[in-house]
Structure 1
Amino acid sequence: MALAWCVALAMGAPVRPANAASLVVNSLNDVFDSVCDAAHCSLRDAIHVANNTPADDTITFSASGTIAPVGSLPQIVAASTAGTLMIDGGGNITLSGQSAGRLLWVRVGANLTLQNLTITDASISADGAGVANFGTLTVRNATFSNNAAAAGGGIANFSGATLNIANSTFSSNRASNGGGALANYAGGVVSVDNSAFTGNTTDNNGGSLWNAGSLTVNNSAISANTASADGGGIANFGALTVNTVTFDRNQASSEGGALYNEGTASVSRSIVDANRATFGGGIYSGSAGGLALSRSAVVSNIALHSGGGIYNAGSSEALVGNSTFADNRANVAGGGIANAAGTLTVVNATLSGNSADVSGGGLSNSGSATLQNTIIANSAAGKDCASGGPTSSLAAFHTLIKSTGPNACNLTNSNGNRVGVDPDLGNLTGAPAYFPLNTSSPAIDAGDNISCAAPPINNQSQNGIARPTDGNGDGLAVCDIGAAEAPASPRIFLPVVRRSLVARLHHHVHTVLRAQRD
């Protein structure tokens, strides 16, 4: 055995400990001698040993501070050969690329977990400066900052790869072609939970995230990101699911301040606030897109042209349910929503306090629009609703519009509609924000129960009260108009008069009348 050991060393063959499990890095210097022991172990040594060990490995650090590798670290090899690898920085390690290249490469079949560390200052003219992932990558409690690449300044997730991110921060990353923080290619799968994307930028689409594969974002914040083209927060060309996410202060020079969608996008229980773009200050859904927005608030977004809250373009289909649009502004049309040649369905939404300098402060429609159980009111400019164009159509059912005539899309008091009526809304409250209905609101118990029971409402409301309730106390539970459902009101009963009392009163009246006749 000793002879074999010597021969292996002489031939330069890697040393393969049989059951290596825990490797401790005790040096911050990027020195490579292919050995990781108590005398000396760099991160480069530890990855090399892990790559040549068939068991699963964990790399931890007894030293704390910054490691600045000279060039990329060893590529993480397939788990079938080397097992899985976890690199745990313990909250005390920063990996700095010194603007001199990519830091990590995860090969096809490899499985890497990065946690409790910071990856910063990586820079490459290709994709994925922090990490290029072709395998399975898990990122937990990590920070990616100030990385720069062609696409995916922090991470590029390639076709066939899987990326899971939790409790992490991506800030001030940059990409020239798209995805300042993260780029996910077609065939890639990404999930993000409880994370923040702040101050990332791109010269193209997707200031923070660019997606052509499958992307799910939950319980996260996407803030103050910038795109020189489309999608200040996210540019989506694949399948996107967003749940309980705040988009705020993102900007796009062209379309979609918070979100640019040319794929399928489902956004629920989210806040789209104070974003800006030329078209679709909050959200832009393009000709190839399909958008579903539910139980969300679209507030204080600005479009330099049209669609302060949402711009629905071309052949895009947009479905809005149980959502509130407030204080959005467009310099031309559609302060709340602009539907331009697309198909728009709005069910149980409230559009109030929006404005447009030319037309449609609440809604501007030049496509095909259907309104059900919806409130449009209190538009600061551009009136409430404008619809027109050679191929436009608008149908409304159980919809309340405060304006009248052309300023109310020429709707009349038919199909359960209430035109020229003040909805009597309370102040904006909650998160996501909604307008509660005051007790005297004519929107209470004025909706359609069939629409409320069907998707996307499913007898739910934005404020969490199950529909329908008996909001006016008449004994009948009827769905309210708008995003919010009023709480049930105690039923009003007339006093019960006992039969004996009625009989005595009847006898008394009969006696008096008979006496008068006599």
Structure 2
Amino acid sequence: MLYRVLMGLLAWLVLAAAAPAQTVIWVTNAQAFGPGSLRQAVLDLQPAATGVQEIRFALGSQTGTTIFLNQPMPDIRGANVRIDAADTTGGVIIDGGGHQQFRVPAGSTTTSLSVANLTLRRGGTLGSGGCISVARAGTSLSLDRVTLEECRAYYDAATAPALGGAVFAAGPLTVRDSVFSGNSMNTLGSATVSANANGGAIGKTGLHPVTVQRSSFRDNRVYLTNTDAPFCASGAGGAIYLSMPGMPGTDVVIEDSSFVNNSTPCRNPTVTYDIDGAGDGGGIYFYGEYVSLRFNANYFENNRGRRGGGIGIIGALASTPVVTNNTFHRNRATASGGGLLILNCCYSQVLNNTFSENVSLSSNYGGQFSLYGGGTLALFNNIATAADTDSGLLCNASSGQISAGGNLYTRNDCPVAGDSSSQAIGAMPWLQAPSMSGGYVLSQRSAYGAPSIDSADEAHCVPYDVRGIVRPVDGDGDLVARCDVGAVENSLVDRLFKDGFED
């Protein structure tokens, strides 16, 4: 017995000795430089360290503290770095004052950077990542409970491409429970039209996993000034830009997140007004090969782009987009796909979404969605209702092989051959305004007795709704559980509120 105990203790000591040590560097004041400052803490990171180096904050404030930067910050160094302000009650704001807060250059040896419980404000850079730039493809970036606001990245036609008004990631990216507000990609001066300035909040290149969960993107934009009169073009991805060509085996998951009022405007110096929706993907833009791409339980409102007001998936080739349980409300495209555009694609599934009052300014393309490609498309159990002022096509759906059913349309101008269960039912006064009724994002319930309740194509019913409720449930009181059309599975609990006595 004693022998076993001694051997176990010896093994633990060997493992403990072999494990890289964790180092904690404390920020003890809000000064821009000097001992105890954030700048000094970054300088104190050791390039050769293999263990976790953690920068933490002991600022002694109960109401929050702002650190104002007055010069460029040094590069992040060391293999694994975590910057976390959880110890400071009231939070920590790092105001860049036009300086980028955190940077991992392409030649770095850093393999992971984690940022948590911080607000990064007013960072700026010429190039990529106004507040955070990770230019090394082998470095993973993780953001957890981070707010990024009013970050700016600037594109200069004479220099390298610029991506990500707030964040640029060349490697794996994870974003959870974070807020992106008022960030932008801008032109430095004016330039000719360029495809090298993209991503109002986030710019991501390279074939690496991307996860965005429970986060909010509001008022971000790509805002370029160019001189190609009378035509004016902006960059892609008002909130998020993903360019991911390469080999198979990569997952992109964006779920439980809100995208509101993101855009891709352009200014031509010969005019005195902005041209809105001048770049693709007002909310999100994706291009990539062989990517498993999933959008689930998100909310898109008033995002504006050229092709794809809410989401633009363009040239996705052999990728597999799956779009489920999303709400697209009052988004706008100047060309095609007011809510959603999938173009030149692949095997795609669009299931149990709610499209309401989205608009395409081109009458030949779908206001709610436009789905084109030479691959296979499954289109089931979606609600699509046009805006009162939209006289253009409700939607377009065309693919090499397409199957559809269980959809409810206000008009029947996107028929699919062989689809006998979708219906054009006219106006949908029973579709309620967006509200919080569970889950993480706004959604649109159906009033009790609506034709969307218990009427979906059961074979293509998504297992959960936008709120995480298991499908199907009984929504019409006949004691038989059937799947609903749209993003919300209306339960008997919802029925209790049918008379409007929610308060």
* Fold equivalence (TM over 0.5): yes
Residues 354-408 of structure 1, C-alpha deviations (whole Å, 9 max, x = no match)? 47856422x123435432221112xxxxx44235xxxxx64425222226xxxxx
Question: How far off its partner does 1:143 sit?
Answer: 2.1
Aligned residue for 2:165? 180
Q: Which amino acid aligns with 2:182?
A: G
> Which of 142, 146, 154 does residue 131 from structure 2 map onto?
154
Q: Which amino acid aligns with 1:353?
A: A
Uncovered stretches (5+) of structure 1, i.e. residues with no partner? 1-17, 52-75, 378-382, 388-392, 404-421, 490-518
2:348 partner SS: strand
2:345 partner SS: coil
Q: 2:179 & 2:22 partners in 1: Cα distance?
A: 38
Q: Which amino acid aligns with 1:84?
A: Q
2:130 partner SS: coil
Residue 397 of structure 2 corresponds to residue 372 of structure 1: no
Residue 332 of structure 2 corresponds to residue 302 of structure 1: yes
> Which of 306, 309, 320 does residue 278 from structure 1 map onto?
306
Q: 2:185 & 2:25 partners in 1: Cα distance?
A: 39
Aligned residue for 1:235? 241
Structure scoring higher RCO (CA < 8 A, sep ≥ 6) equals: 2
Q: Kindly name which structure, 1 or 2, has the bigger radius of gyration based on alpha carbons.
A: 1
Residue 418 of structure 2 corresponds to residue 448 of structure 1: no
Whether the 8 Å contact between 1:240 and 1:266 is mirrored in structure 2 is: yes
Q: 2:29 & 2:355 partners in 1: Cα distance?
A: 55
Matches within 5 A, 1:217-236: 217-227=212-222, 228-236=234-242
Aligned residue for 1:399? 422
Aligned residue for 1:171? 149
1:285 partner SS: strand
Residue 105 of structure 2 corresponds to residue 121 of structure 1: no
The number of aligned residues is: 394
Percent of aligned pairs sharing the same letter: 24
Whether the 8 Å contact between 2:112 and 2:139 is mirrored in structure 1 is: yes
Aligned residue for 2:200? 207
Whether the 8 Å contact between 1:77 and 1:110 is mirrored in structure 2 is: no
Q: Given the superposition, is the C-alpha separation of residues 131 and 298 from structure 1 closer, same or farther in structure 2, using an over 3 Å criterion?
A: same
Aligned residue for 1:492? none
Q: Given the superposition, is the C-alpha separation of residues 384 and 328 from structure 1 closer, same or farther in structure 2, using an over 3 Å criterion?
A: farther
Q: 1:179 & 1:352 partners in 2: Cα distance?
A: 33
Q: Which amino acid aligns with 2:145?
A: N
Residue 406 of structure 2 corresponds to residue 425 of structure 1: no
Residue 115 of structure 2 corresponds to residue 130 of structure 1: no
> Which of 114, 136, 140 does residue 116 from structure 2 map onto?
140
Q: Which amino acid aligns with 1:284?
A: G
Question: How far off its partner does 1:92 sit?
Answer: 2.4
Q: Which amino acid aligns with 2:65?
A: N
Question: How far off its partner does 1:425 sit?
Answer: 2.9
- TM-score, structure 1 length as denominator? 0.68
> What is the CA RMSD across the aligned residues, in angstroms?
3.2
Q: Given the superposition, is the C-alpha separation of residues 163 and 78 from structure 1 closer, same or farther in structure 2, using an over 3 Å criterion?
A: farther
> Which of 74, 78, 81 does residue 111 from structure 1 map onto?
81
1:450 partner SS: helix
1:287 partner SS: strand
Q: Given the superposition, is the C-alpha separation of residues 286 and 355 from structure 1 closer, same or farther in structure 2, using an over 3 Å criterion?
A: farther
Whether the 8 Å contact between 2:283 and 2:300 is mirrored in structure 1 is: yes
Q: 2:129 & 2:424 partners in 1: Cα distance?
A: 45
Q: Given the superposition, is the C-alpha separation of residues 209 and 26 from structure 1 closer, same or farther in structure 2, using an over 3 Å criterion?
A: closer
Whether the 8 Å contact between 2:381 and 2:457 is mirrored in structure 1 is: no
Whether the 8 Å contact between 2:241 and 2:285 is mirrored in structure 1 is: yes
Question: How far off its partner does 1:433 sit?
Answer: 1.9
Question: How far off its partner does 1:88 sit?
Answer: 1.6
Aligned residue for 2:500? none
Question: How far off its partner does 1:466 sit?
Answer: 3.8
Aligned residue for 2:258? 246
Uncovered stretches (5+) of structure 2, i.e. residues with no partner? 1-20, 86-91, 156-161, 187-196, 223-233, 245-250, 265-277, 437-441, 494-503
Aligned residue for 2:367? 335
